[in-house]
Amino acid sequence: MYLNFYGFNEKPFNLTPDPRSIYFSKTHRESLDVLTKSISKREAISTLSGEVGTGKTTLVRALLEHLSPSVKVALISHTILTARGLLKYICQTFSINCKSKNRAVIVATLEGYLTEIYRKGGQTLLIIDEAQNLKPEVLAQVYAFANFKKNYVSLFQILLVGQPELTKKLAHPKNEKLANCIQTRCQLTRLTLTETKEYIEHRLQRAGFSHPEPLFHSEAIGSIYEFTEGTPRLINILCDNALLMGFVLNSPQIAAEIIKKVQFEDTFSEMELFNPPKIQLAKPQSMTESPIAENIPVKLPPVDCTPSIHSIIPKRTRPSFLRKLTTDIQAGFHWLEKWTSIPIEIFAVMAYRWLLLVLFLLLKMFYF
């Protein structure tokens, strides 16, 4: 919608992990270099941790592009697996023909395949995303993978990617053996204010923005950093909403006021923008009844013309209906996050707003 208005070739702040648009902060660059060396040295287990939205998945995609074509990779992005399910998934990825349902037979077949790849000079890498959700039996199987060795060289390199809870889980006494096999640990941190500015400029240039004047005002970048605390995914969401708001307001530059309008707490900002209520001021009776008051200039107090949620949803339906709807939606998001391991921010910011927009249109149709 705003691509032509600002001169973009593509959306600059897309949420889909794209290694072409990756911005290498200090920790991102260090993590990529360390993990690349770790895999080349055939280290058994490495870990990459970071808070939600710090760019772990994007960094993994960039890592895959840096690997040699001889490295065969099995990438698991969902962690609702049993140990048997993990084995079957790996066998399917590597096209290993094993019809047996016996776990010991599957493990032996997989080890034979890994040994054959090693003899041919190849490598095999297992990447498990959202590893903080792995069940104890799956962690035990990962530890068993670390013991696949030939001439004291690991046959199966493993990269565990997850949130900070992964570090806490590995530090538990029951996972001590697995933790001792970890040779490389990397951690992504949030961006600093300077890195946030560079990140936004990098994404804009990558999308084709070439104007001499900066698109985001310096104060707007400060507001973005304040609201997002340097989390790349939240920066993408906020900047994308700001560009849409700037397009609607026909603003060639994104100011701090626009950032404040689209911050995440204001769920109804888009609705209020497209349907501002009509405000009518009633004329005071004293102005018409008193002849003296006709010649006296009256200074009325300033009127706040900013619409609120009370002007959008009728009072008779707002309390119970909206409260129940919000509760049901939030419960659904938590269920999806639990069973799919998809961060709740994606649902809460994208799907939630679309649902509320549909709700608003329905309410407008029946009550206005």
Give residue 151's pLDDT band: very low, low, confident or very high (50, 70, 90): confident
| Superfamily name with CATH number, domain 26-188 | P-loop containing nucleotide triphosphate hydrolases (3.40.50.300)
Cβ atoms of 279 and 305 within 8 Å: the answer is: yes
0.85 cut: is pTM over it? no
- Each residue's pLDDT tens digit, 104-133: 899 999 999 999 999 999 999 999 999 999
How high is the pLDDT of residue 336?
Answer: 63
Q: Which of the following CATH numbers is that of domain 1-13+192-266: 1.25.40, 1.10.8, 3.40.50, 1.10.1060? A: 1.10.8
Give the integer Cα–Cα distance in Å for 332 and 329. Answer: 5
Q: Within the chain, which residue ranges are assigned CATH 3.40.50.300?
A: 26-188
Please give the full DSSP string across 239-298, using - where no structure is assigned: HHHHHHHHHHTT-SSB-HHHHHHT-TT-TTHHHHHHSPPP--PPPPHHHHH-TTGGGS--
Asked whether 34 and 184 are in contact (CB, 8 A), the reply is: yes
pLDDT class of 314 with cuts at 50, 70, 90: very low
**In the predicted model, is pLDDT for residue 316 greater than 90?**
no
pLDDT tens column, 319-368: 445 555 556 666 666 666 656 555 556 656 666 667 777 777 777 666 65
- Tell whether the model's pLDDT for residue 216 goes beyond 90: yes
Give me the mean pLDDT over the 248-276 stretch.
Answer: 68
Q: Residue 272: pLDDT band by 50, 70, 90 thresholds?
A: very low
Residue span(s) of the chain under CATH 1.10.8 come to 1-13+192-266
Q: Identify the pLDDT of residue 274.
A: 40
pLDDT at 101 over 60: yes
Mean pLDDT, residues 277-283 taken together: 44
CA angle 299, 300, 306 (to 5 degrees): 140
Work out the number of other CB atoms within 10 angstroms of the CB of residue 252: 10
The pLDDT, as a whole number, for residue 294 is 41
179 φ, ψ (degrees, to nearest 5): -60, -35
